[in-house]
Structure 1
Amino acid sequence: MAMFYLVLVVFSLIFLYFGLKKSYWDKRGVPGPKPWPFIGNIGPHFLGRKTLGQVFVDIYRKYEGYPFVGTFRAGTPCLLVRDPELVHRILVKDFKSFRNNEMYVDKDTDTLFNRNPFALRDQEWKDTRQMLTPGFTSGRLKNLFPIMTSITKDFIKFIEHHPTANTDGIETRLLTKRYTLDNVAKAAFGIDGKSFESYEELSDFMQLANSFLTPGTLHGLFMQVIQIFPVLLRIIPPKLISGDIEKKMISIISEVRQHRLQNDAIHKDYLQFLIELGKENKFSDTEVTAHATTFFFDGYVTSSLVLSYALLCLAQNTKYQERVREEILKTEEKNNGEVTYEALQEMELLHACLWESIRLFPVGDILTKACTEPFEYTPEDPSFKKITLNVKVGDIVMIPFSMFSKDPKYFENPEKFYPERMLGKDGTINKVFYPFGMGPRACIGQRLGTMQIKIGLVHVIKNFEVTVSPKLQQPIKYHPFNIMNEIKGGLWLKYKKIK
């Protein structure tokens, strides 16, 4: 009987706690769905039916006409923004009130990731960004262009001789990861990634890369958990990059760095920029590796996913693929048989197709920001209900990237691949499309990422007719517990060599 009463008291306290939580938005006049104890509003995600982003997409659609919605990610109150003007205020106009991302990294525990600008906060973020920005100038990108172009030779040869390229096809998610990994290995670590040496085996560097932030691994699982319970990062601050991997990465950088310094070897890559930066700031090998790892995350994981979705869109829409191929050939004719760095920037249809593929298949659905100064907002757009919002310091706001890009209010026939809507567009579109973010915290490496993706697209589309493989599971579904939108069953495409 005593145990019965203990259980009763525990459950009563739990429901009382969540009852108080539930009134968090109600008492501030913010509309939203009622949360359940423990799971809040993300029950379908807990059950593995939907990604976390898809759960919030559903909530976004149910609250048409409201500028914002009060939600609960498990026990964490989160404000889902629906008004583009409010997004612009958060990311640009009133940036000081939302200057930090929600993600927190313990500086003492995580030796490498604690210098990533995405996780840094306040003045430290600002100082680091200013320090790293010169590494992404047009001049430095132009130096990286021939390095990445040379890697496409192995990329194309790998596809051409792949035993199932034009039968079952190639799992393109892994294919594009091989390409971007070799780029990152060469540009940021100064080594050969050797990603194209075997069809069956993964190179040592690729195994190193895949040992974290990969679904099914311990660190991959942890990254999924902290999406829902970010407070865990403060309670039990773990290493986002394990000690063994950390040592291997530092060892690679240390060896290459010492070789270059001892032999006065100068290279035109990103690592050389970091080495020179290290001389000025007296960086240790660990600090240089930490900044190289930032390049690694952005250049390898995200860029490869964007490239794979761009290829999927062109495989599904072959008329646009043919038009892009024509644009490539015309560009080469004007530039002595090659696509130069400058010419790549001028390929309008290629750019439009890439932007449209990002709109249709965003790598993520939401960006979470933490309020740093009190903020008040009342929508002026008559299409939204006139509700005044007061955001407190510490409140979490969700920027709905994929919700806007699939909303028929902003994009006519949003499920259709229609690159023409992106012609002549760059950066943001009416405050509802911002593929690399907006404002001071927009992605520092966006031009680098775009460049390597376009280089890969140019060489693949020029050499192969790309079509959808029967092995691609349709309709397309995402892995429910991944931090990015990864396709279940693999992204299978066929590649037929153009003679």
Structure 2
Amino acid sequence: MIPEWVQFNWLTICIAVIPLIYLYLTWNYNYWKKRNVAFVKPQLIFGNYKEVFLQKRTVSEVMEDIYKKLDGKPFVGFWRFRTPGILVRDPEMVKTVMVKDFHSFQDNALIVDPKMDPLLAKNPFFVSGEKWKNMRSVLSPSFTSGKLKPLLPLMEGVCEELLEYLRAAAPASAPDGIEASLTAFKYTVEMVARCALGIKGNNFTDSEGHLRTMVRRIVSPGFWKNIEFMILNFLPSMGSFLHLSWMPRDVDLFFTKIVTDEMDYRKKNNVIRPDYLQYLINMSKKENGVAYTEADALGHAVTFLTEGSETSSITLGFAWYELARHPAVQEELRQEVAAARGANGGRLPFEALMELPLLDQVLQETLRLHAPLMAMEKTCTRATELRGADGVACRVEPGTLVVIPVRALHHDPAFYPEPLRFDPGRWAPGNRERLVKYTYLPFGEGPRICLGMRFAQLQVKLALAYVVEKFDIKTTPKTPNPVVQDPTYFLTCAKGGLWLRFEERKSSNSE
């Protein structure tokens, strides 16, 4: 039996501690009120992230709700658990954060521990400060049109393999069809493996897809994977304490080995290939005024392999999905591609592909509706002031979280009438010029705009052009309508997948 004085002491402690815990949890909840900034009322413990934490909704959907609730405000306050953050709503304010006052918001908010993730720590997305600036100066030239054009024969070969895969898989897929997101992922992993590393991933023939599996283990939806992501993103100190990493150790070793082996092979055999890895190898040899090592080359090759495959596969899968739901657009695109081939002796040269107007419009509209990253998180790096058109000003302190609500901007009827309607015509000449700047951000904007943007667009355009020529893309009873976002993933992902049928066109058999 516990003595009464012990019971009394425990009761006293609880009475004293509970208010202190409450005070700790709510200490910052007056942050925006004190600064005269409009905000959405936070909930105890979670702030405005309860549905995110419970994996009921994505961050981008929660940010879109906040965006709508405080319509007319250039920026508003919210809380990620106890941490106050700013949601930027006005396009001019987006321009301020991403371009005009870039040096005050130059770092992305995601943090990677170099000790736990040595390869990902070299990813330009995670690097900050002067190191990021130096890295970008080295990597930017590798994604020019001049560097991409020589890759076209390699890329065309992967497209032909995609067509063969669809011919074999489509007949057996009725009536539900093929999961288009997975098919797109097989294509982009193979494409990036060839163009980045000069190796074959065998993604269309190997049912296990070892390379694909390893990439997917870094970037994949799932309850426990999302829990790890939230700890690493929201509570990085806890992530370090628990020894959590973005990339599992065996995956890190796998990628290190295949890239190192390929680099060693080229050195020993004096092999030179026109791919991204060769560019990185050459840069590590140059006296370019910036320290760039083979370890850097290894990290950037892995970055290209992982990021270049996942985000592009999301875009490609949704582009197929929208074409299946809009057969008239699909047929018009088919005719455009056929006309371009006819005008170029049956080929689709780099210049012709990049100049196809409807193909570009389909891609841009898909990215508007289904951008892979629908919320961008920045960190204030230098004290500054944000001042809205309504006259409200706020001093932003270093370390403050700043969110650009991409999904909300892309789906705002004030900028895009009937925003949920797939309408490639928005991007036609004459219409495109009337769109409000800084409301379209699938690749970001300003100095930190996505480095691999041109490559991503090229590989998606190629797959669209090749597939639409040879196949009718159709919906099935399993095709989602509307798409429900998977709340267990930080990138855009359809819950249950994107199921489509690819029917080979009879006219294409004799071609």
TM-score calculated relative to the size of structure 2: 0.92
User: Does the 8 Å CA contact 1:33/1:71 hold for their aligned counterparts?
Assistant: yes
Give a deviation string over 1:2-43, Cα, whole Å, max 9, x none: 434433433312221233210111100111122122211122
**Structure 2 residue aligned with 1:329, among 317, 338, 359?**
338
Q: Match of 1:48?
A: 55
Within 5 Å, give how 1:419-434 maps onto structure 2: 419-424=424-429, 425=432, 429-434=436-441
Within 5 Å, give how 1:393-432 maps onto structure 2: 393-424=398-429, 425=432, 429-432=436-439
**Structure 1 residue aligned with 2:456, among 449, 457, 476?**
449
Residue type matched to 1:153 in 2?
Answer: E
Q: Match of 1:268?
A: 274
Q: Match of 1:470?
A: 477
SS at match of 1:161: helix
Query: Structure 1 stretch 221-230 or stretch 356-365: which is displaced more?
Result: 221-230
SS at match of 1:164: helix
Aligned equivalents of 2:486, 2:100: Cα separation in 1 = 35
Aligned equivalents of 2:33, 2:495: Cα separation in 1 = 38
Residue type matched to 1:41 in 2?
Answer: N
**Structure 2 residue aligned with 1:193, among 176, 201, 212?**
201
**Structure 2 residue aligned with 1:176, among 172, 184, 194?**
184
Taking a change above 3 Å as real, the CA distance of residues 275 and 396 of structure 1, as seen in their structure-2 partners, is same
Residue type matched to 1:337 in 2?
Answer: G
Pair 1:390-2:395 in alignment? yes
Q: Match of 1:208?
A: 214
Residue type matched to 1:168 in 2?
Answer: D
Give a deviation string over 1:170-199, Cα, whole Å, max 9, x none: 00110000000001111222211100004x
User: Does the 8 Å CA contact 2:184/2:314 hold for their aligned counterparts?
Assistant: yes
SS at match of 2:345: coil
Residue type matched to 1:300 in 2?
Answer: S
Aligned equivalents of 2:10, 2:480: Cα separation in 1 = 50
Quote how far apart the aligned CAs of 1:435 are: 1.8
Give a deviation string over 1:358-387, Cα, whole Å, max 9, x none: 11112222101111111112223xxxx331
Aligned equivalents of 1:77, 1:222: Cα separation in 2 = 22
**Structure 2 residue aligned with 1:31, among 30, 38, 44?**
38
Aligned equivalents of 1:410, 1:13: Cα separation in 2 = 46
User: Does the 8 Å CA contact 1:152/1:456 hold for their aligned counterparts?
Assistant: yes
TM-score calculated relative to the size of structure 1: 0.94
Q: Match of 2:307?
A: 298
Taking a change above 3 Å as real, the CA distance of residues 132 and 269 of structure 1, as seen in their structure-2 partners, is same
SS at match of 2:481: coil
Give a deviation string over 1:99-155, Cα, whole Å, max 9, x none: 111112223332101111110011000001111112112111001121111101110
Query: Structure 1 stretch 233-242 or stretch 131-140: which is displaced more?
Result: 233-242
Residue type matched to 2:172 in 1?
Answer: T
Residue type matched to 2:92 in 1?
Answer: E
Q: Match of 1:118?
A: 125
Give a deviation string over 1:381-438, Cα, whole Å, max 9, x none: xxxx331121111111101111111111111111111111112449x85221122111
User: Does the 8 Å CA contact 1:115/1:290 hold for their aligned counterparts?
Assistant: yes
Q: Match of 2:3?
A: none
Residue type matched to 2:302 in 1?
Answer: T
User: Does the 8 Å CA contact 1:467/1:495 hold for their aligned counterparts?
Assistant: yes
Aligned equivalents of 1:318, 1:160: Cα separation in 2 = 20
**Structure 1 residue aligned with 2:248, among 219, 242, 245?**
242
Aligned equivalents of 1:30, 1:150: Cα separation in 2 = 55
Residue type matched to 2:273 in 1?
Answer: H
Taking a change above 3 Å as real, the CA distance of residues 275 and 14 of structure 1, as seen in their structure-2 partners, is same
Query: Structure 1 stretch 412-421 or stretch 3-12: which is displaced more?
Result: 3-12
Q: Match of 2:509?
A: none
Unaligned runs of 5+ in 1: none
Residue type matched to 2:422 in 1?
Answer: F
Query: Structure 1 stretch 79-88 or stretch 280-289: which is displaced more?
Result: 280-289
Aligned equivalents of 1:219, 1:277: Cα separation in 2 = 35
Instruction: State the Cα RMSD in Å.
Output: 2.0
Quote how far apart the aligned CAs of 1:235 are: 5.6
User: Does the 8 Å CA contact 2:443/2:449 hold for their aligned counterparts?
Assistant: yes
Aligned equivalents of 1:18, 1:219: Cα separation in 2 = 26
Give a deviation string over 1:178-235, Cα, whole Å, max 9, x none: 000001111222211100004xx22221122122222238655412443443454566
Within 5 Å, give how 1:305-316 maps onto structure 2: 305-316=314-325
Aligned equivalents of 1:392, 1:346: Cα separation in 2 = 45
Pair 1:317-2:326 in alignment? yes
User: Does the 8 Å CA contact 2:176/2:476 hold for their aligned counterparts?
Assistant: yes
Aligned equivalents of 2:125, 2:55: Cα separation in 1 = 28
SS at match of 1:79: strand
Q: Match of 2:370?
A: 361
Radius of gyration: which is bigger?
A: 2
Residue type matched to 2:80 in 1?
Answer: R
Give a deviation string over 1:259-283, Cα, whole Å, max 9, x none: 1111111111111111112222786
Q: Match of 2:137?
A: 130
Residue type matched to 1:229 in 2?
Answer: L
SS at match of 1:397: strand
User: Does the 8 Å CA contact 2:232/2:244 hold for their aligned counterparts?
Assistant: no
Aligned equivalents of 2:12, 2:477: Cα separation in 1 = 58
Aligned equivalents of 1:292, 1:219: Cα separation in 2 = 24
Percent sequence identity is 33
Q: Match of 1:140?
A: 147
Quote how far apart the aligned CAs of 1:285 are: 5.1
User: Does the 8 Å CA contact 2:222/2:489 hold for their aligned counterparts?
Assistant: no
Taking a change above 3 Å as real, the CA distance of residues 157 and 229 of structure 1, as seen in their structure-2 partners, is same
Aligned equivalents of 1:435, 1:212: Cα separation in 2 = 21
Residue type matched to 2:446 in 1?
Answer: G
Aligned equivalents of 2:238, 2:254: Cα separation in 1 = 27
Unaligned runs of 5+ in 2: 1-6, 507-511
Aligned equivalents of 1:217, 1:55: Cα separation in 2 = 18
